Chains A and B, each alone.
Chain A
Amino acid sequence: MLEDKLLVLKCRRGNRDAMCRVYDKYKDYLLTLAKGLLSEQAEAEDVVHDVFVAFVRSAGTFALTGSLKGYLATCASNRARDRIRAKTRQAEALDSANPPVAGSRSPQQQAAEVEELTRLRQALRQIPYEQREAVLLHVRGGMKLREIAKLQGVSVSTVHGRYRYGLDKLRSLLNSEVEE
């Protein structure tokens, strides 16, 4: 995007307002991704924090070849993966916070959607990380499969498989809960 390219140029010149603008523009997007990948609110916030601070530190030499949004999403994903790897068998408590639901709905509808999204988060936690990453980055992050393939260091067909398997597994998990 044109605005992003100009923002990056300004960030490279040490423009404080431009950096804050980048943060304001993508903070919620990255937090949603990070939380989807990690499930834990505090950890997701830390990832977003680290991504933006690192962005500022590297802004002087930063060269944007693709989209800024994609770049930041990739950074967040890498950092989330590092955290996952660092705590191999961590007992992860599900985030008890209710996910916000957009739009104007009746209280009953809102409650139903919150419950559904909570179950989705629980289901996301149960699928393999690579599949979760592929699904989230593609569907919620808007990244192309080839971009995710580059990020994961695998072929596009592998990512496509992970995406499909991930989606199928989610569907299976959600449906099984419904059937129960």
Chain B
Amino acid sequence: MRPAENIERLIENLSDKTSARMDQRVRQDMLHALAESGKPSALIQPKIGRTIMKSRIVKLAAAAVVIAVIVLGLFEFIGTEKTSGVVWADVAQKVQASRGNVVRCRETSSFQSNEDDYSIKYFSPTHSRTDTYKGGQITQTYYKDLETKTSTFVNHTHKHYMSRTFTPSKGGFLEKHGDWINAEYLVQTILSCEHRILGQKAIDGVLCEGIETTDPACLGPLPGPVSRLDVEMRLWVDARTNYPVLFEVKIHAEAEGKTMSSECVMDQFQWDMELDPSIFEPNIPPDYKDMRNL
């Protein structure tokens, strides 16, 4: 006579695999359904924030994503030490005085698939633009106009776009992006953290000097308590020009018994460029649809 446990074990062994034909059919129909429904991504963004805030670990994960992305505001990342060849106060001044900057950003995280290969970010004192690429093709462009407080998201894959106005951050966690591209906020935050000089090393043939902080305070206020939070942020600047060359950030966090990690590398900086203002004007092809009308 079989005990009940044996039956349960037998049931656990039931295992069916989808066929390649089925996979193709379902994926095709899913994408067709997606195209038909034309998911209004930006329209639901306010709800996304609320959903995220329901879970502490998700808040933290979102924090890491936001931080990894917003650290692109790196051009304001500075230090004050004067114990090496690089005068870090000069770095701060040069960075803030830069007319325009371009940087490549690559991100990986443990909690999301690496959907895009990299992004190229353009900054002027009043505008920013981010082009995201996958497989050599541009997939998204995000424009931000700090003068009119307008952001425009263009999804080239789905041929959708959406513009919306944004309000300056007033301490809200998810809105920190606005603060991080604000030089004053970033300078104050970074300067308040403990950091150390890393010395010199050559990066792509350029003699650089580095600064590192492992002070979690550099992330700013967290959305909730964590049992563990490891942060590594390193900035390398050209010892000759005092402009940043490479920025690396690693975050590992544990909360509610779950862990997450995120890494971001920013390189290929171009500083003090006179960027054509037209690159910050949203370029929306005529066949793209406004998400609000979908």
A residues adjacent to B (C-beta < 8 A): 2-3, 5-21, 23, 27-28, 31-32, 35-36, 44-45, 48-49, 52-53, 55-57, 59-61, 63-64, 99-102, 113, 116-117, 120-121, 135-136, 139-140, 167-168, 170-171, 174-175, 178
Contact = CB atoms under 8 A, between A and B. Distances in A.
Interface string B2-45: 11101110111111111000110111011101101111111111
* List of 10 A-B pairs having minimum Cβ-Cβ separation, nearest first: A14-B39, A13-B41, A56-B33, A139-B11, A32-B16, A31-B16, A27-B18, A56-B30, A14-B41, A17-B115
B187 interface: no
A11 to B, nearest CB: 8
Contacts of B260: 2
B291 to A, nearest CB: 9
B30 A19 contact: yes
Name B's interface SS: helix
Given A3-B112, A101-B15, A116-B10, A14 B40 contact: yes
A23 B52 contact: no
A100 B16 contact: yes
Interface of B: 1-4, 6-8, 10-18, 22-23, 25-27, 29-31, 33-34, 36-45, 47-48, 51-52, 55, 57-58, 61, 111-113, 115, 155, 157-158, 160, 258, 260
Contacts of A44: 16
Contacts of A116: 10
Contacts of B7: 120, 167, 170-171, 174
Contact of A28 (B13, B18, B39, B42): B18
Given A23-B30, A56-B30, A12 B39 contact: yes
B38 A14 contact: yes
A10 B61 CA distance: 13
The CB with the most chain A CB atoms within 10 A, among B8, B48, B112, is that of B112
A63 B50 CA distance: 11
B2 A2 contact: no
B31 to A, nearest CB: 6
A14 B139 CA distance: 13
B111 A6 contact: yes
Contacts of A171: 1-4, 6-7
A140 B11 contact: yes
